[in-house]
């Protein structure tokens, strides 16, 4: 019994630790979860609604039924006139119904491209927040490395102080810089928490859910990529949305043009005559004449307006292609510059500062240098490594902007 109780106590102590172990979410898993964002689900509902509306596009007008006295004199017991029952039905031209149905079906295609554009924006945001958190995690690691160096130097300086080989003001200065790292860590942890909330919001999860990220950031080689206009037009959902809008206006033009076609109707009536006269009936067909000048003005004006709207959409598509090609070229040039800066940090600046720190540390160990020189070396090395991580963040931000602009997801 005692052994069992000990096991239960151990499990109760260990389980909370296991519960708080955060799940690691790679970037791909985050992007898959973005599909559950309410903004995208709203587009799905709108597409379903538009398709539902299109299902009733071929409906005919309701029939009309009437009943009452017909040409009956004002007498209590009439010996003339009749009681008539009448039914009427208009038949819309099938070409009009088909054109209307095609137009309404085309509306959901435009909405689908709007959804893809919004999805691309959300994915771009998720990538941005994810990479920002990756860099923040790397900065925390670098900060811990710097803290370890400073704690070692402070411990060594305290030992030297006891033998009169170190000055007390230098000890206080080292402590102040060590404590300053706590503020930096607090700021980094706060920014990580903010990115965590933003990513959970995009994934439509509980905002306080804690998870870890994969800190292996992959840099893409986009600098040598050529921008093909045809590929760009087929890749960008906003440009495809304009193309779908042009197609929709063309379908609208067909619907307007179909208004010149006639509609047909049929009218049938049965009359029960008074005064012994024989019963009578009416059977008539009708046709509309929409090509008469006073009836054709509307659809002719609409067709003219649609042509201007198509021209406006075509020019907008050309402008979007031009802007996209310019933006992609600018991003590629900027990425090349950031990569060269990052390479310079890693190959030249940081190694030079490392050598400077090692030289100051060696002089301090040989009692020919002082503690402030070593601290300045540590601080300079940390600053350079943080700046290198800032360049990495800039490069990842440009990469996300390029993928968002080219819609690569």
Residue located via tokens 């009681």: 83
* Residues 29, 43: Cα–Cα separation, whole Å: 22
Instruction: Name 177's Cβ contacts closer than 8 Å, sequence gap at least 6.
Output: 150, 375, 379
Residue 269 host element (H or E): strand 264-273
pLDDT band at 407 (very low <50, low <70, confident <90, very high): confident
Task: Give tens-digit pLDDT for 341-371.
Answer: 999 999 999 999 999 999 998 998 888 878 8
Q: Mean pLDDT over residues 38-61, rounded?
A: 93
CA distances from 45 to 62, 123, 153, 194, 242 (A): 29, 20, 63, 31, 21
pLDDT > 90: what percent of the chain?
71
CA distances from 210 to 37, 185, 194, 207, 354 (A): 18, 18, 11, 9, 36
Enumerate domains of the chain plus CATH numbers: 23-70+81-406 (1.20.1600.10)
Query: In this structure, are residues 195 and 133 in contact, taking their beta carbons and an 8 Å threshold?
Result: yes
Query: In this structure, are residues 356 and 380 in contact, taking their beta carbons and an 8 Å threshold?
Result: yes
Instruction: Name 72's Cβ contacts closer than 8 Å, sequence gap at least 6.
Output: 78, 80, 81, 82, 83, 274
Is pLDDT at 8 greater than 60 in this prediction?
Answer: no
Query: In this structure, are residues 99 and 278 in contact, taking their beta carbons and an 8 Å threshold?
Result: no
* Residues 371, 146: Cα–Cα separation, whole Å: 15
Across-strand partners of 23? 211
Q: Indicate the length of the chain as a whole number.
A: 409
Window from 23-27, 75-79, 86-90 with minimum mean pLDDT: 75-79
Residue located via tokens 């906003």: 238
* Residues 30, 302: Cα–Cα separation, whole Å: 47
Is pLDDT at 17 greater than 70 in this prediction?
Answer: no
From 38, 201, 218, select the one nearest 129 (Cα to Cα).
201
* Residues 190, 208: Cα–Cα separation, whole Å: 13
Query: In this structure, are residues 150 and 378 in contact, taking their beta carbons and an 8 Å threshold?
Result: yes
Instruction: Name 154's Cβ contacts closer than 8 Å, sequence gap at least 6.
Output: 171, 174, 175, 178
In the prediction, which pLDDT does 366 show? Answer: 85
Query: In this structure, are residues 380 and 361 in contact, taking their beta carbons and an 8 Å threshold?
Result: no
The per-residue pLDDT of the chain, averaged, comes to 89
Is pLDDT at 19 greater than 50 in this prediction?
Answer: no
Q: 163: helix, coil or strand?
A: coil
pLDDT band at 21 (very low <50, low <70, confident <90, very high): low
Q: Mean pLDDT over residues 297-307, rounded?
A: 93
* Residues 72, 75: Cα–Cα separation, whole Å: 8
Q: Where are the beta strands (DSSP E) in 61-174?
A: 64-70, 82-91
From 184, 109, 100, select the one nearest 142 (Cα to Cα).
184
Q: What is the DSSP secondary structure assignment for residue 76, as one 8-state letter?
A: S
Sort strands 264-273 and 82-91 into parallel, antiparallel or unpaired. Answer: antiparallel
pLDDT band at 77 (very low <50, low <70, confident <90, very high): confident
Task: Give tens-digit pLDDT for 109-145.
Answer: 999 999 999 999 999 999 999 999 999 999 999 999 9
* Residues 403, 123: Cα–Cα separation, whole Å: 10
Is pLDDT at 2 greater than 70 in this prediction?
Answer: no
Q: 408: helix, coil or strand?
A: coil
Angle between helices 168-202 and 94-162 (to 10 degrees): 160
In the prediction, which pLDDT does 54 show? Answer: 92
In the prediction, which pLDDT does 13 show? Answer: 36
Q: What is the DSSP secondary structure assignment for residue 349, as one 8-state letter?
A: I
Task: Give tens-digit pLDDT for 78-117.
Answer: 888 999 999 999 999 999 999 999 999 999 999 999 999 9
Task: Give tens-digit pLDDT for 185-228.
Answer: 999 999 999 999 999 999 999 988 899 998 887 888 888 888 78
Task: Give tens-digit pLDDT for 224-267.
Answer: 888 788 888 888 999 999 999 999 999 999 999 999 999 999 99
Q: What is the pTM of this model?
A: 0.85
* Residues 287, 270: Cα–Cα separation, whole Å: 22
Task: Give tens-digit pLDDT for 146-190.
Answer: 999 999 988 988 888 887 787 888 889 989 999 999 999 999 999
Q: Can you spell out the DSSP letters for 114-131?
A: HHHHHHHHHHHHHHHHHH
């Amino acid at each position: 019994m005692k052994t069992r109780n000990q096991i239960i106590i151990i499990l109760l102590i260990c389980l909370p630790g296991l519960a708080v172990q955060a799940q690691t979410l790679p970037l791909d898993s985050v992007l898959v979860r973005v599909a559950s964002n309410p903004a995208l689900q709203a587009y799905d509902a709108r597409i379903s609604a538009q398709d539902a509306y299109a299902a009733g596009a071929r409906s005919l007008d309701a029939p009309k039924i009437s009943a009452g006295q017909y040409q009956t004199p004002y007498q209590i017991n009439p010996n003339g006139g009749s009681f008539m029952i009448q039914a009427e039905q208009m038949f819309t031209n099938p070409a009009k119904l088909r054109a209307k149905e095609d137009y309404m079906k085309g509306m959901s295609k435009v909405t689908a491209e709007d959804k893809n554009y919004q999805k691309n924006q959300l994915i771009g945001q998720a990538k941005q927040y994810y990479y920002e958190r990756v860099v923040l995690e790397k900065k925390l690691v670098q900060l811990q490395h710097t803290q370890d160096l400073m704690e070692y130097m402070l411990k060594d300086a305290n030992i030297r102080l006891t033998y009169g080989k170190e000055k007390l003001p230098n000890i206080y200065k080292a402590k102040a810089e060590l404590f300053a790292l706590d503020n930096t860590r607090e700021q980094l942890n706060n920014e990580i928490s903010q990115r965590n909330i933003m990513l959970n919001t995009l994934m439509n999860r509980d905002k306080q859910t804690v998870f870890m990220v994969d800190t292996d950031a992959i840099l893409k080689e986009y600098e040598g990529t050529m921008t093909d206009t045809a590929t760009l037009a087929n890749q960008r959902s906003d440009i495809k949305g304009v193309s779908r809008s042009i197609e929709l206006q063309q379908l609208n033009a067909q619907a307007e043009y179909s208004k010149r076609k006639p509609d047909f109707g049929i009218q049938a009536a049965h009359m029960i005559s008074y005064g012994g006269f024989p019963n009578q009936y009416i059977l008539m067909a009708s046709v509309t004449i929409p090509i008469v000048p006073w009836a054709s003005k509307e659809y002719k004006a609409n067709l003219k307006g649609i042509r201007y709207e198509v021209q406006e959409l075509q020019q907008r598509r050309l402008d979007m292609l031009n802007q996209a090609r310019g933006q992609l070229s600018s991003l590629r040039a900027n990425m090349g510059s950031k990569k060269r800066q990052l390479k310079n940090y890693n190959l030249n600046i940081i190694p030079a500062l490392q050598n400077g720190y090692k030289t100051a540390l060696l002089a301090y160990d040989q009692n020919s240098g002082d503690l402030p020189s070593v601290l300045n070396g540590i601080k300079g090395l940390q600053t350079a490594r943080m700046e290198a991580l800032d360049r990495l963040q800039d490069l990842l931000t440009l990469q996300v902007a390029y993928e968002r602009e080219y819609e690569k997801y």
